[in-house]
Structure 1
Amino acid sequence: MDPRHDPRPLPEAARTAPLSTAQERLWFIDAAAPGSAAYNVPLLLRWRGAVDVAALTKALTAVTVRHEVLRTVYALRDGQPVQIVVEAHPVPVDTVACAAHPTPEAIDREARRPFDLAARPPLRCTVWQGAPEGDLVLLNIHHIAVDGWSLLPLFTDLAEAYGAAVDGAAPHLPDLPLQYTDYAALEKEACASPAILRKLAERADQLLSCPGHLVLGERKAHSLVPEGARRGAQHTFRLDPNLWTDVADLAARLRATPYTVLLAAFQTVVQRWSARERFILGTVAADRQLPDLEKLVGFFVNTVPLICHPEPDQSFEELCLQVRAEAYRALTLSRLPYDRLSAAAAPGRAEAGLGPLVEIGFGLQNMPAPPTDGSVAWEVPELLPTGSAKFGLLLLVEEGPDGVRGTVEYDLDLYGPELAESVAEQFQALLAAALADPTCALRRLPLTRRPPGAAHPGIVQGERRDLVAERLALLATGHGGNRS
């Protein structure tokens, strides 16, 4: 029996509420690809010593008392998905004894174990005990209940509750002014307003001006799969600290943000790979506009489509100002639910054969870091890969306590590791050159720092050509229309 249609009664104390629009999107993705780990959020904690399992159980239970979304299940009622907050019960903690560090395969298996959103709350905990370096704890949470900005309140509350439990005391976790169900109800009401519906239609018309099927190079032949069923992999890299300082300096001079500078560089790389004049990139925005939501664990993010049109003859700093304007315009519309925006644009895009709104994504994650000093029992939480992809290709830049890391996540059925490595290398090379001379024309920015004649991963060696110059010459003849 499909658990989403399971007629079994829930406890009398359960409280029913609508899903937020962001949750609705993940619920339907899960319904289309049941058993997928695409939206697992597996957080690995390296404990400083041995875990007090009884204290950890009490601490996790206290956290779920404070944050109702962590003890919520999802089901169909009258044909509509709803969230059902159930009574707080002790959170089960699975323990595994091991004389040595558990194998990566064992950790990955647990990290990628899917959730049954209808049967159990979206939080699991596994502890590997006995390793000489200290115990390992895996907190696995479904994305429907958590986002990146949630990690600060989550781990702050867990540290308080665990420390209190070890001392045999009650944690100081006062009631929150709002719960996620309150936010979902407010957000649903706002999204039904005539003003939002009018903005949806206007933005959908603007997005129709961009061609679809954004492709980087020659991607593999593939068959369509549900979004949650994309097989994915990651390529990670470290951004030079001096480069990050230069990003901040240029952003300050232009009265922009580091996000704007990084996105301008990525746009330029995407244009080189795709030969597109105009295209759409997706970015992620967090909708925590009320101060009372800052300390709440929950899923508040929305995918926001950005219209990109870098011009080869404009300077990099001119592109940054252009990106700043478009990002501001788009992010003022960040409350437009991505699914509804896609639906509003779908008829026109289907008629033109344009495909989905967002196929390539970009994000800068610079949310406050959870506490990791000696006051907590664990080191920096590590987000593990799940072997899935949310877009055809996604570049994430993340600022953390140990520096700035980039991750290229890609759909294995579309792209290979060589392309991901090339995109990462070219992003860094072009960014470094642009920061060294922001007045340089985009067409003159290099894509590599490798010596002449060195092999480029993912690039077939042959005649050296100036593809940008060829593209401009073709446009000048009037025969350079966009590929679709």
Structure 2
Amino acid sequence: MSAAVRALPLTAVQESMWTAYRIAPDSAAYNIVMPLRLRGRVDVAAMDAAIASVGHRQELLRSVFVERDGRPVRVAADAPVVRLEFRDLAGAGEEELFRAAEEAGARPFRLESGTFRVVLLRRTDDDWALVTSAHHIVSDFTSRWLLVRDVLDAYAGHAAGTAPAWRPLTSSYTEYADGELRYTASEAGVRAAEEWRAAVRGAAPAELPLDRPRPRVRSLRGDTVVRRLDAESAEGLGGAAHAAGVTPFAFLLAVFQALTHRWTGQDDFLLGVPASARSGRGQRDLIGCFLNTMPVRAEFGPDTTFRSAAAQAGERVMRGMLGVRFPCRLAFRDTVLFRAALFLVQMDRMEPPVPNVPPGAAVGPSVRYAGLDIALIDVPQQEGQLDLLLRIEQTPDGVTAVFSYDTDVLDRASVERFADGYERLLAAAVRDPETRVADVDLAGAADLDAVLALGDATGFADSFDTSYDTFESFENAWDHR
């Protein structure tokens, strides 16, 4: 690392990421990964130069994290600490290329020496994979698109012998962190903290029934269940949300809250909803962790309909966004709520199908840029951070629900059943938002038949076999991303 370094304080979210890292330094649960399939001739030297250029441009690509006097600090250097890693997989098959891309993204980081990784995999002269990976302490889901965009813009420039076509950065993550410190210490910040506490007072975090007790020290290991939503639900979502007067995200969140209510029996609970604290033109091109996970309260009664649940979810998300500048965790640092784990269950926002692409590029399963056909490679990531995290992804092929979970406390079969319930509730809500949440059956006909057969002595053995086959199919039915 360059001798010219600066020790800088962490933001509130970076402090929580550092704590998670110290608990499980060998976990990849907080890796944010963006793997791309590149078709065409790749200039390796130009790609290497591109990574160096992006490292000079983006402050956090020149940063590591260490402890000094018992406190974590970010150390920023003048020179980038990330370089291109190249692996030649000559003759590898499709599966081997996918596994290599997955491994490149899932390798744990040592925050004391680096927080970003860029790996170029060559399968043939015309078939490559480019894997960018970053620890969440320096990135978020917007930043992973920004990193890919900056790398491809720089690559196009270096390959053509010109400078990258970038907008100049007019701000830095250091300025953002300084602004957060000033705001949280101000009178306005004190009022914002009290408003967050008032908004959730009396509510408890959602507590799903677990398959095992929560361990004293979490391993931060997990798994993922993926469901592509059926066409009727996906196509009808926009109209149902419009009829309810909310955004599609608020409608999807309300269904998730409804299912959580049905599973837990809780009538008044909190879910985490990640939001971006980016603001202003100066931060639009800045790579960094601008995450602020908001506690969103859900309240249900016997007559709650999907429409009324969606209206409540939409109103509370919008109200939360008004206070998104204040790091929510700081509002609960000294409370029982914080010590009890504010967010055990969480839902993330919908993602766009493709990153910002150059003008004129074709948007779809792949884009054409810098002489390359570029498409996404979907790999599992961010598994095991929480008991359960639902992320809704918009893809060129439709809408996908991604359920990531903590294998310390949940079995795959349980999450499969939860996913079944989400699909069933969403279908009912889209069909008729006036349906009462309590009136929708969570179990399918086959599940009900199996349960009823347990009360029939002559059919017990057959029902046991059916149940065993059902659970075995749960274990084998993972539609791998």
| Cα distance between partner residues in 2 of 1:323 and 1:93 | 44
CA distance change for structure 1 residues 103 and 294 in 2, over 3 Å: closer, same or farther? closer
TM superposition score normalised by structure 2: 0.84
TM superposition score normalised by structure 1: 0.84
Task: Confirm whether residue 345 of structure 1 aligns to residue 335 of structure 2.
Answer: yes
| Cα distance between partner residues in 2 of 1:23 and 1:220 | 30
Correspondence for 1:413: 408
| Number of residue pairs matched by the alignment | 443
- Residue from 161, 164, 185 that aligns with 1:192: 185
- Residue from 194, 204, 210 that aligns with 1:211: 204
Q: Which moved more, 1:87-96 or 1:327-336?
A: 87-96
Q: For the aligned residues, what is the CA RMSD?
A: 2.7
- Residue from 234, 238, 247 that aligns with 2:228: 238
Q: Which moved more, 1:109-118 or 1:436-445?
A: 109-118
| Cα distance between partner residues in 2 of 1:224 and 1:69 | 33
Which AA in structure 2 matches 1:188?
L
Task: Confirm whether residue 140 of structure 1 aligns to residue 133 of structure 2.
Answer: yes
Q: CA deviation at 1:221?
A: 2.6
| Cα distance between partner residues in 2 of 1:96 and 1:218 | 42
Q: CA deviation at 1:233?
A: 0.4
- Residue from 111, 115, 124 that aligns with 2:109: 115
Task: Confirm whether residue 427 of structure 1 aligns to residue 422 of structure 2.
Answer: yes
Kindly indicate which of the two structures has a greater share of residues assigned to strand: 2
Correspondence for 2:79: 88
- Residue from 334, 342, 359 that aligns with 1:357: 342
CA distance change for structure 1 residues 218 and 156 in 2, over 3 Å: closer, same or farther? closer
| Cα distance between partner residues in 2 of 1:45 and 1:455 | 44
Correspondence for 1:155: 148
Q: Deviations over 1:413-452 (max 9, x none)?
A: 111111111111211111111121111222112325x4x3
| Cα distance between partner residues in 1 of 2:245 and 2:198 | 30
| Cα distance between partner residues in 2 of 1:222 and 1:23 | 24
Q: Secondary structure at the match of 1:429?
A: helix
Task: Confirm whether residue 384 of structure 1 aligns to residue 379 of structure 2.
Answer: yes
Task: Confirm whether residue 181 of structure 1 aligns to residue 166 of structure 2.
Answer: no
| Cα distance between partner residues in 2 of 1:210 and 1:330 | 16
| C-alpha contact 2:8 2:174 (8 A) present in aligned 1 | yes
User: Which aligned pairs between 1:39-54 and structure 2 lie closer than 5 A?
Assistant: 39-54=30-45
Give unpaired runs (5+ residues) of structure 2. Answer: 358-365, 457-481
Correspondence for 1:68: 59
Task: Confirm whether residue 402 of structure 1 aligns to residue 397 of structure 2.
Answer: yes
CA distance change for structure 1 residues 57 and 463 in 2, over 3 Å: closer, same or farther? farther
| Cα distance between partner residues in 2 of 1:239 and 1:258 | 14
Q: CA deviation at 1:88?
A: 2.6
| Cα distance between partner residues in 2 of 1:103 and 1:175 | 36
Correspondence for 1:5: none
Correspondence for 2:351: 366
CA distance change for structure 1 residues 135 and 293 in 2, over 3 Å: closer, same or farther? same
| C-alpha contact 1:42 1:139 (8 A) present in aligned 2 | yes
Q: CA deviation at 1:280?
A: 1.1
Q: Deviations over 1:438-469 (max 9, x none)?
A: 11222112325x4x335799x897469xxxxx
Correspondence for 1:480: none
- Residue from 427, 434, 438 that aligns with 1:439: 434
- Residue from 83, 88, 108 that aligns with 1:97: 88
Q: Secondary structure at the match of 2:127?
A: coil
Q: Which moved more, 1:259-268 or 1:395-404?
A: 395-404
Which AA in structure 1 matches 2:216?
L
CA distance change for structure 1 residues 106 and 161 in 2, over 3 Å: closer, same or farther? closer
- Residue from 304, 312, 320 that aligns with 2:302: 312
Q: Deviations over 1:289-327 (max 9, x none)?
A: 222211211111111111111223122212211222222
| C-alpha contact 2:118 2:130 (8 A) present in aligned 1 | yes
Correspondence for 1:474: none
Q: Secondary structure at the match of 1:276?
A: coil
